[in-house]
Structure 1
Amino acid sequence: MFLTKAFAARFKFTNTQCETYNKTWVTIEHCRLHAISRHKTVLNINATFHYPATNIKIRLQVLKKANGYKPWLIDATVDACAFMQKPNHPVVKMIYNWIKNVSTVNHTCPYMGPQQVKDFYLTPQQMPLPLPTGEYALFLTWIFSNLPQFTTNVYFTFVEDLLKQ
């Protein structure tokens, strides 16, 4: 009898924090996780942009927990408006492909009014590259007209089980 080995993995959001630095430009109505089941948690973020945002940059940081969260793979700043016209950054393109169907940020600049990510859930099948098992954080700093306006920090765990049958 042969044992068949199948790759199994699981993402789970563990925390989210959003903070606005300039409430006259951006207000965050809510930034929360909602537990659907034991292994499935969805992310919901609602923000309102009070003025048209046409010069948007995003500082993207991926961190891994090892005696605190340490820079792990990526620390880059991307021009979001240019990206929406021509998606040319592979990591941002991957994240955008994850959220484009569950968010209102699927158009080019300017952005104004309510912006949201609703019921976002990540599956291992959406991840083109494997991650080592561990706790991670995705920090996004949203910069409008060269001034940081707000941050969205999402924490998650990734568990791989190479011997799951």
Structure 2
Amino acid sequence: MGKNIEKISVKTKVDFYNAECTVTDPSYIYFDTCKIKAVNRTYKYFTMTAKFPRRQPLYNISMTFALLRRANGYKPFLYNFTIDCCRYMKKRNNPVINYFHSWFEKYSTINRTCPYGPQDEVVDKLPVSHINRMTTEILPVPQGQYVFHTMSSDFFQKNYGPIIPPDQKPRQIDNLGECNG
């Protein structure tokens, strides 16, 4: 009456098929490089070079992050929020943003406080295996097809007009750094 009990383990894996960096206003930012390179069957990496063509530094950068899951088209899943990047980089007190920032922080020049520009901002050879570890071991996500969407802008000025220097007080915007969903 001995029963053989077998242990079954299920593992998830994240893989990238495409990287697309699109620009809505090339006078604000454009991408020199945006690619996923497959070195061999087991090693891929992502590289991106963003350029800020303006000669003045940027002090007021907002960033929108959205994780979309495919289900009859891509729908928002779990995260969809906008942050004040300059405030976050000073305090780094938002655990959700800390998690997403940890995806690329070690492989990037996007790891300091404002101002940003006119130098290049680079994510260099970010291994897909690192993202795989972050999304399967650190904070597991359910099986499915996903799109990670980001968008940045200078949110204090319409049409990227004059920049507010750090010694002037910008107008207040509510709920920066909060999750809206």
TM range (shorter): 0.7 to 0.9
**In the aligned structure 2, how far is the partner of 1:115 from the partner of 1:60?**
18
Which sections of structure 2, spanning at least 5 residues, go unmatched? 161-181
What does residue 40 of structure 2 align with? 37
Q: What is the CA-CA distance between 1:3 and the residue it aligns to?
A: 3.1
**In the aligned structure 2, how far is the partner of 1:119 from the partner of 1:34?**
9
**In the aligned structure 2, how far is the partner of 1:105 from the partner of 1:70?**
28
**In the aligned structure 1, how far is the partner of 2:145 from the partner of 2:132?**
15
Q: Which string of whole-angstrom CA distances, capped at 9 and with x for unpartnered residues, describes residues 122-160 of structure 1?
A: 3443232211111001110101144588xxxxxxxxxxx
**Contact conserved, 1:13 with 1:42, CA < 8 A, in 2?**
no
SS of 1:53's equivalent in the other structure is coil
Larger helix percent: 2
Q: What is the CA-CA distance between 1:16 and the residue it aligns to?
A: 1.4
TM-score (norm. length: structure 1): 0.80
Larger strand percent: 1
- Letter in structure 2 aligned against 1:126: M
TM-score (norm. length: structure 2): 0.74
- Letter in structure 2 aligned against 1:125: R
Q: What is the CA-CA distance between 1:91 and the residue it aligns to?
A: 2.2
Q: Greater relative contact order: 1 or 2 (C-alpha under 8 angstroms, separation 6 or more)?
A: 1
- Letter in structure 1 aligned against 2:80: D
Which sections of structure 1, spanning at least 5 residues, go unmatched? 150-165
What does residue 103 of structure 1 align with? 108
Deviates more, 1:118-127 or 1:97-106: 118-127
**In the aligned structure 2, how far is the partner of 1:123 from the partner of 1:5?**
25
**In the aligned structure 2, how far is the partner of 1:65 from the partner of 1:39?**
25
Deviates more, 1:139-148 or 1:100-109: 139-148
What does residue 51 of structure 2 align with? 48
**Contact conserved, 2:29 with 2:53, CA < 8 A, in 1?**
yes
Q: Aligned to 2:150, which of 136, 140, 154? A: 140
Q: Which string of whole-angstrom CA distances, capped at 9 and with x for unpartnered residues, describes residues 23-59 of structure 1?
A: 2232210111111333543111111112311101111
- Structure with the greater alpha carbon radius of gyration: 2
What does residue 91 of structure 2 align with? 86
Identity percentage over the alignment?
A: 28
State the aligned residue count: 149
Deviates more, 1:10-19 or 1:121-130: 121-130
What does residue 126 of structure 1 align with? 134
Distance 1:123 1:17, change over 3 A: closer
Structure 1 segments, 4+ long, off by >6 Å, are: none
- Letter in structure 1 aligned against 2:45: V
